[in-house]
Structure 1
């Protein structure tokens, strides 16, 4: 899974890899495709992280509920 720092580092490394001659030859570099790709990956990763957080939170809630039910059953049985 990509995080924002690695995406930015990759973008910076890619731009730094251009030599001075290449930079002089190219007046304007179109990075719209790169921008769209990074945005799509970021959106996917954020969505995946959100799903994982919801899943983890639900597991914690279920575990706490189960523990409370066990405690209640134990108290009723006594």
Structure 2
């Protein structure tokens, strides 16, 4: 098992696993949480980032809905 991998689908642990799930750069997780509302947290601001898969699914759909109109062209 590699670092950041989990054997359960209950909660993702680590910036790498969370950002891979939503197609973002793990180096930007602080910015994603602070500025873009990525639903991830740390316990008492310590340790690894945590996120629930269903929250990440909802967040990525919200991102899609917010930005998809930029790429829809009328014929």
Superposed pair shares fold, TM > 0.5: no
**Which of 1 and 2 has greater Rg?**
1
TM-score by length of 2: 0.31
- Identify the structure with bigger relative contact order (alpha carbons < 8 Å, sequence gap 6+): 1
Higher strand content, 1 or 2: 2
**Structure with the higher fraction of residues in helix conformation:** 1
